[in-house]
A and B are shown apart, each in its own frame.
Chain A
Amino acid sequence: MAGLAVVVAVVVVALVAPLIAPYDAVAQLGIDTLKSRPPSLAHPFGTDPLSRDVLSRVLLGSRVSLAVAALSVLTATTLGTVYGAVAGYAGGRVDDLLMRGVDAALSIPRVLLLITVLALWGHVSAAVLIVVIGCTGWLSVSRLVRSEVLGLRSRDWVTAARALGATPARTLFRHILPNALSPVIVSATLGVANVILLEAGLSFLGLGVQPPEPSWGNVMQDGADQIRALWWMSVFPGLAILITVMAVNVVGDGLRAAADPRRRHVA
């Protein structure tokens, strides 16, 4: 419950960020004194080398980070569910062929693939980020869904549905999939935590959300080359990421325990 409370709080903060941010997140305050200042009463998280308020940037950055995470996981989960369901339901050669493809693709380190694609994309917008992260994230979902569907398709009630004349598509999507959804929801939740970290990492390398638009990762990048002097540029956005990701993981663990009583101890 504590995890859920924190997640809700972070989402609310992201939604009202423009209202509560003390400064304009992209405005350079005092252009004549272009420099980074340590935390003070006026700027609790300090300012960055372009004299922008770090607290405001972290607050506004949460919107991009959360939106990218939620939407790309939605994309990945949808793709993976359809692919895995088809493979699991079809079985036999189709299944073999589809899943060997997934195995092969899974052996490519995702970070290396993403770095390559994003760097070559040129100007990366949040939409591009969602598509690219979503399209590289469905592989493990498809494995999960396939094994669930494989286990369910020979149950009596599936046979009954077929005997009543349901088409394969209807059997699969109306009768089997709803019963396979709980592990998918768990994996999607944990996936959100993972993608928040991934997006932060890519933005940190300068490959994600492009400045001046803030995201947790690129705020940290702004201070990365002077990390010795500008510790506040790294510590505060990092804490924001840690707290959010931890809360999402706690929720994911809780959902898993609820979805699978046999493995309640996992949480």
Chain B
Amino acid sequence: MTATFALIHLAPGDPFAGALDDPRVTQAVRDHWRHVYGFDRSLPDQYVRFVAGIARGELGYSIARQEPVRTVLARAIPNTLVLMGIALLLSFGLGIAIGVVQAMRHGSLTDRAIGAITLAGYSLPDFWLAQLAILAFAVWLPLFPAGGVVDPVMHPYLGPLAAALDRARHVVLPALTLTVLSAAAVARYQRSALLDVAHDDYLRTARAKGLSERQVMLRHALRNAAAPVITLFGLALPGFLGGQVFIEKVFAWPGLGALAVDAVATRDYAVVVAVAIVGSVLVAIGSLLADVLAALVDPRRRTGAIARPLPPVPLRV
């Protein structure tokens, strides 16, 4: 929070730079508006007011949108959470499944082929994949809308069922794009976590009991390899939110990421700061959840007695 404030005020310009620095505007007019919004106060004074405001839950007023920041955020947060929730669920489900398949056929042609694909998915620029998705499935093969949350013209006139369908159609492309990007990282991680435990004693015991490789993997190994993947979930959240910024921008999805990019363009400080704060809070909540979940799955973590160092994290951004 403090860091955000410092960074913003270190940079030249303020929200009026665009509107008021026109040479035809007199100095008196500039001074008047800067005074009204408090930009003529000393920096320590502005800082105290800024912190006090946030402590009271007041995020300020969006100058570019002429609305309280709270209202702007209240509109954007649900959109971001919906997209993020769907994409996280799909990418972890898909990624874990792919990782398990790869680990079961470790070293085979299937493993290598999937490995090449996940490496490619992991190396794709997010915004490029989003553009390709639009080109392929909205322009050349017009199956889905290219952007937005609902149809801008027809949505208000649709019945409840058709309206829900309209929303679903709009979420497909952005959600799938995000899923492809993160499922690749999750799969790489899951595969390596499984192979890490593959030679542990308890698995040898399980195999010696005559269990099939499938049973060994799904019953015994997966549970032990689950904790690192859940930890990855916590660690990957900031990067995931970062990737979502680009996806939201390309698909014109009115969430926090697109809001941040637009607010930056209009030097709307209050909104930029609020998005950074909300983003960090979301990440903190996610990490907490991940820690609790990891302790639930792997009892060794509750006491802090952990047998194995965590594998290096293949994080994006």
- CB nearest to A120 among chain B residues: B11
Most A CB within 10 A of own CB, among B146, B265, B314: B314
Contacts of B8 in A (CB 8 A): 116, 120
Bound Cα distance A256, B311 (Å): 11
Most A CB within 10 A of own CB, among B127, B134, B261: B127
- CB nearest to B256 among chain A residues: A112
Contacts of B279 in A (CB 8 A): 108-109, 112
Contacts of A231 in B (CB 8 A): 135
Identify which of A41-49, A155-163, A233-241 touches chain B: A233-241
A224-B131, A246-B123, A249-B123 known; A204+B246 contact, CB < 8 A: yes
Contacts of B196 in A (CB 8 A): 263
Q: Is B265 touching A117 in the complex (CB atoms < 8 A)? A: no
Identify which of A20-28, A56-64, A164-172, A187-195 touches chain B: A187-195
Would you list which residues of chain B between 76 and 110 have a CB under 8 Å from chain A? 106
Q: Is B38 an interface residue (CB 8 A)?
A: no
Contacts of B260 in A (CB 8 A): 112, 115-116
Partner of B123, one of A187, A207, A227, A242: A242
Q: Is A234 touching B7 in the complex (CB atoms < 8 A)? A: no
Q: Is A117 touching B7 in the complex (CB atoms < 8 A)? A: yes
Q: Is A173 an interface residue (CB 8 A)?
A: no
Q: How far is the CB of A250 from chain B (nearest CB, A)?
A: 7
Bound Cα distance A117, B7 (Å): 6
Contacts of B312 in A (CB 8 A): 144, 183, 186-187, 256
Q: Is A122 touching B13 in the complex (CB atoms < 8 A)? A: yes
A 171-190 to B, binary, CB cutoff 8 A, 1 in contact else 0: 00000000000010011001
Q: Is B242 touching A107 in the complex (CB atoms < 8 A)? A: no
Identify which of B23-31, B49-57, B280-288, B295-303 touches chain A: B280-288
Q: Is B126 touching A122 in the complex (CB atoms < 8 A)? A: no
Q: Is A246 touching B264 in the complex (CB atoms < 8 A)? A: no
Bound Cα distance A266, B190 (Å): 10
Q: Is A193 touching B261 in the complex (CB atoms < 8 A)? A: no
Contacts of A93 in B (CB 8 A): none
Bound Cα distance A179, B191 (Å): 28
Bound Cα distance A227, B147 (Å): 13
Q: How far is the CB of A258 from chain B (nearest CB, A)?
A: 14
Bound Cα distance A265, B105 (Å): 12
Q: How far is the CB of A54 from chain B (nearest CB, A)?
A: 15
Q: Is A113 an interface residue (CB 8 A)?
A: yes
26 residue pairs A–B, Cβ–Cβ below 8 Å:
A108-B280, A109-B279, A109-B280, A111-B246, A112-B241, A112-B242, A113-B4, A113-B7, A115-B260, A116-B7, A116-B260, A117-B11, A147-B309, A187-B312, A194-B315, A194-B316, A201-B125, A204-B125, A227-B131, A228-B139, A245-B124, A245-B125, A249-B119, A263-B192, A263-B311, A265-B195
Given contacts A183-B312, A220-B131, 16 further A-B contacts (CB under 8 A): A109-B241, A109-B242, A112-B245, A116-B4, A117-B7, A200-B125, A220-B127, A227-B131, A227-B139, A234-B131, A234-B135, A245-B124, A245-B125, A249-B119, A266-B192, A266-B311
Interface residues of A (CB under 8 A from B): 105-113, 115-117, 119-122, 140, 144, 147, 183, 186-187, 190, 193-194, 197-198, 200-201, 204-205, 207, 220, 224, 227-228, 231, 234-235, 238, 241-242, 245-246, 249-250, 253, 256, 263, 265-266
Task: Identify the 10 closest CB pairs spanning chains A and B, nearest first.
Answer: A120-B11, A111-B242, A119-B264, A238-B128, A245-B123, A246-B123, A109-B238, A109-B241, A265-B195, A234-B131
